[in-house]
């Protein structure tokens, strides 16, 4: 019984280490990369939803609200 | 530059919009009926089809998949076309998606009240419907990715990333959790048993909340909030971090639904830690949404669309702070199985999903019908009545949850349970159940006002089936320069992006689920635990059909307050033949894991006939039909064979002699009933149910020495 529990505990340590390392590597990489994005690109991307390409767009946006 | 003219499909958006309103009202009404039944058990009029156990899954499925599901499709079909500057890939697939989804909902609305259920929460629908869901989802995926391929906008806005994660994650979750062995057209048994089944189910259950109720709605928030506010999102950089951190972390957090259960401790800890880490991206997203309105708060005062959005995003923030806190083991020890969980779920459903859906409907209908909203005033009334409804719903239920949790754990000065009778805690919170129904009614009335307002808006305007738009054709193979252009290149290539997002999503699932299958070897098996007898299998299936697990858990946690009340705490090895597991997630009645042998057979008979006679003040409905309906013995071979295929060691001989075994055991139950002055024929459903209830948790009582086997 104890042997079984200890065996599975060893596995636990490994899974804990794998999980945290994966998370750390992934998160740090993603953070560095996000911080290095250029302002012009970010501005362009954030403006995307505001231009839907609709022909009646301009008329709509001013008259409806 | 080659400017192309094309048309956005508004018909499909309108269809999903109408379906959202209709199913929203139906789902909320069913919830209201369920809420009333909790303080007025007679409200089901002794009709088996509308008892709490059967309509609870109907309510959850209707709200999640019918109301929010249609709302999600509505928002995605509208925003995806505009973000891609392209019509949907295939009109046929759009309509296949629409009608397929509505048929699935109708099938659910018919089968769940009839008792056809797998019992796995938010995945209750039986296998033929599960297959239909898979087909419709694949059609949606093809249509979705097809649109991405033919898009005219090179870059994929962050909302699309959230949609992509939804499409992939829901497919993976649905398929993994639906692995089931049919035993007839409307009956199946989960491939997994006990602890494994529990972990797969809550890995699914948690991530269904994550990837059906959260990620698509975050994508919609990132689209509709800037649109309604008329300004770009506060920080696009933050939205990138929000996305990747969220999809990576969410998938790990499932085991927080199983804290202090028989699930191995390492999995519980993993679930708790990742749940806590989830606060960061969730709050990043919430702040990003709210800060988008910086300098535009005056608009919030006037525009009901923005009002609903602000309240929705705030509710998202509250729910995603509360969830991680509830995942802390010591907090969970108090909140789990109580109404606190219900309050948490409804904070998210009513506030986040409900209000964001309402805001989208108020935004879209005037645009689809080329007019103004019929009555802004009425929409404002809706906002306030809805908000009051949420407050009146949540506060009583928090009080109820806390009261239950504290009463269950209270010891007197002599070290005995202060409230040894479980019913005392329920009687105490019944007034709160009444108040909750008031809150639910207010919210429901708000939704009706909205339906009327949208109807009048539609009548006043003229529907525009297609919206003409123009955009330059996408230039192919545009060179990307610079060493940090990786992501720009990445989100320019949907397939590669999808693969990477899928990997981020699946890492957590793999690390949790792969050891799960190793656990199978590690669960300490208990020599005295045997498969259920054929009669008990039939009884267990009745237990599943009636949705007993909606109110009764089968998991004694290792707390003294629970072992004092229920008996020995539950062991993983006790559930190795449980296909599916029936641990439950809330207690409106006592835990039943050690129910066997506690009461005589006649007590159970009288209790099922009229619980109020045996336990005055009980809120359990009557089950008189169990006393008259005949047991379905014809299907026993199919059931046992299906169970054998998923690993329960029934021999061919035993299956062949199943009917004789049933007769023998039923005769014993009938004899016991006779001793308790109850006359009952052996072929009635109640006999099987009693046999099952009397078996629960008795295996280890018979031979308390636990041994480990391979």
A29 touches chain B (CB under 8 A): no
Helix ranges (H only) for B295-375 are 297-302, 304-326, 329-335, 339-346, 355-368
A24 touches chain B (CB under 8 A): no
Q: What pLDDT, on a 0 to 100 scale, did the predictor assign at position A65?
A: 36
* Model-level ipTM above the cut of 0.85: no
CB contact under 8 A, B232 and A46: yes
Q: What pLDDT, on a 0 to 100 scale, did the predictor assign at position B491?
A: 61
- In chain B, what residues touch A30 (CB-CB under 8 Å)? 240-241, 244-245
Say how far apart CA B569 and CA B557 lie, in whole Å: 6
CA distance B674 to chain A (A): 44
Q: Please list the residues that pair with B180 across neighbouring strands.
A: B190
Q: Is B469 helix (H, G, I), strand (E, B) or coil?
A: strand
pLDDT in tens, B475-512: 754 444 454 456 556 666 778 788 878 887 777 777 77
Answer for the pair B199, B253: CB distance below 8 angstroms, yes or no. Answer: no
- In chain A, what residues touch B466 (CB-CB under 8 Å)? none
List phi, psi (to 5°) of B179. Answer: -60, 110
A17 touches chain B (CB under 8 A): no
Cis peptide before B580 (omega within 30 of 0): yes
Say how far apart CA B481 and CA B573 lie, in whole Å: 58
**Reported confidence tier of residue B254, pLDDT bands at 50, 70, 90:** confident
Which of B1, B6, B240 has the most A C-beta neighbours within 10 Å, making it the best mutation to test the interface with A?
B240
Helix ranges (H only) for B461-615 are 486-490, 494-522, 534-545, 560-566, 601-609, 611-614
- In chain A, what residues touch B241 (CB-CB under 8 Å)? 30-31, 34
CB contact under 8 A, A1 and B223: no
CB contact under 8 A, A46 and B82: no
- In chain B, what residues touch A31 (CB-CB under 8 Å)? 241
User: What's the mean per-residue pLDDT of chain B?
Assistant: 91
pTM passes above 0.80:
yes
Which of B229-243, B309-323, B505-519, B610-624 is predicted least confidently?
Answer: B505-519
- In chain B, what residues touch A46 (CB-CB under 8 Å)? 226, 232-233, 236, 239
pLDDT in tens, B208-218: 889 999 999 99
Q: What pLDDT, on a 0 to 100 scale, did the predictor assign at position B487?
A: 59
State the angle between helix axes of B127-149 and B158-177 in degrees (0 to 180), rounded to the nearest 10: 150
Say how far apart CA B28 and CA B49 lie, in whole Å: 18
CA distance B65 to chain A (A): 26
pLDDT in tens, B388-438: 999 999 999 999 999 999 999 999 999 999 999 999 999 999 999 999 999
Answer for the pair B501, B168: CB distance below 8 angstroms, yes or no. Answer: yes
Say how far apart CA B385 and CA B307 lie, in whole Å: 13
């Amino acid at each position: 019984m104890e042997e079984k529990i200890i065996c599975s505990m060893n596995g636990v340590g490994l899974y804990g280490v794998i999980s945290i390392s994966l998370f750390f590597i992934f998160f740090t990489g993603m953070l560095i990369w996000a911080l290095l994005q250029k302002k012009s690109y970010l501005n362009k991307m954030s403006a995307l939803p505001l231009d839907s390409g609709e022909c009646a767009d301009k008329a709509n946006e001013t008259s409806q609200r | 530059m080659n400017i192309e003219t094309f048309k956005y499909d508004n018909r499909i958006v309108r269809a999903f919009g109408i379906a959202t309103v209709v199913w929203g009202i139906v789902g909320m009404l069913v919830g209201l009926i369920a809420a009333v039944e909790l303080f007025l058990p007679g409200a089901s009029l002794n009709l088996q089809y509308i008892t709490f156990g059967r309509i609870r899954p109907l309510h959850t499925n209707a709200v999640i998949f019918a109301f929010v599901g249609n709302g999600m499709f509505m928002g995605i079909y509208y925003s995806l076309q505009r973000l891609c500057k392209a019509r949907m890939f295939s009109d046929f697939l759009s309509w296949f998606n629409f009608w397929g989804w509505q048929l699935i909902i109708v099938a659910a609305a018919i089968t769940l009240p009839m008792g056809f259920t797998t019992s796995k929460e938010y995945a209750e629908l039986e296998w033929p419907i599960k297959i239909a869901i898979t087909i419709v989802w694949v059609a949606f995926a093809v249509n979705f990715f097809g649109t991405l391929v033919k898009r005219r906008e090179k870059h994929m806005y962050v909302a699309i990333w959230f949609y992509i994660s939804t499409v992939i994650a829901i497919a993976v979750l649905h398929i993994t959790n639906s692995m089931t062995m049919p035993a007839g057209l409307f009956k199946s048994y989960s491939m997994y048993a006990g602890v494994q089944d529990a972990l797969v189910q809550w890995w699914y259950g948690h991530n269904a909340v994550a990837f059906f109720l959260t990620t698509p709605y975050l994508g919609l928030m990132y689209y509709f909030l800037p649109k309604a506010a008329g300004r770009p999102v506060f920080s696009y950089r933050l939205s990138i971090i929000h996305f990747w951190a969220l999809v990576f972390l969410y998938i790990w957090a499932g085991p927080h639904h199983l804290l202090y259960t028989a699930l191995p401790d390492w999995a519980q800890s993993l679930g708790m830690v990742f749940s806590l880490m989830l606060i960061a991206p969730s709050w990043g997203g919430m702040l990003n949404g709210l800060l988008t309105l910086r300098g535009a708060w005056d608009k919030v005062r006037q525009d009901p669309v923005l009002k609903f959005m602000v309240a929705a995003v705030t509710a998202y923030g509250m729910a995603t702070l509360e969830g991680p806190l509830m995942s802390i083991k010591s907090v969970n020890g108090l909140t789990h199985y109580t109404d606190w969980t219900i309050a948490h779920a409804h904070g998210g459903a009513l506030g986040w999903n409900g209000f964001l859906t309402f805001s989208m409907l108020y935004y879209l209908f005037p645009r689809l019908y080329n007019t103004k909203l019929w009555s802004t005033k009425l929409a404002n009334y809706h906002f306030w009545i809805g908000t009051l409804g949420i407050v009146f719903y949540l506060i009583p239920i928090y009080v109820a949850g806390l009261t239950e949790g504290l009463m269950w754990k209270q010891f007197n000065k002599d070290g005995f349970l202060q409230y040894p009778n479980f019913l005392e805690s329920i009687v105490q919170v019944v007034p709160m159940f009444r108040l909750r129904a008031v809150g639910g009614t207010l919210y429901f009335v708000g939704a009706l006002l909205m339906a009327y307002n949208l109807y009048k808006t539609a009548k006043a305007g003229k529907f525009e089936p297609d919206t003409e738009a123009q955009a330059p054709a996408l230039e192919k193979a545009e060179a990307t320069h610079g060493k940090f252009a990786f992501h720009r290149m990445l989100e320019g290539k949907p397939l590669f992006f999808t693969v990477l997002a899928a990997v981020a999503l699946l890492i957590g699932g793999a690390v949790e689920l792969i050891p799960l299958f190793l656990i199978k070897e590690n669960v300490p098996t208990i020599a005295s635990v045997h498969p259920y007898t054929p009669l008990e299998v039939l009884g267990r299936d009745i237990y599943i059909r009636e949705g007993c697990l909606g109110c009764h858990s089968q998991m004694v946690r290792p707390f003294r307050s629970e072992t004092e009340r229920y008996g020995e705490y539950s062991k993983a090895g006790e559930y190795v033949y449980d296909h599916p597991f029936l641990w439950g997630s809330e207690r409106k009645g006592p835990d039943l894991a050690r129910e066997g042998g506690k009461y005589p057979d006649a007590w159970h008979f009288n209790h099922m006939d009229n619980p109020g006679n045996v336990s005055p003040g009980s809120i359990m409905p009557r089950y008189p039909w169990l006393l008259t309906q005949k047991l379905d013995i014809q299907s026993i071979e199919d059931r046992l064979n299906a169970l054998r295929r998923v690993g329960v060691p029934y021999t061919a001989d035993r299956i062949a002699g199943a009917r004789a075994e049933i007769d023998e055991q039923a005769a014993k139950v009938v004899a016991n009933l006779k001793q308790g002055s109850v006359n009952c024929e052996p072929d009635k459903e109640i006999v099987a149910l009693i046999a099952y209830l009397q078996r629960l948790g008795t295996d280890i009582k018979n031979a308390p020495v636990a041994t480990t086997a391979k």
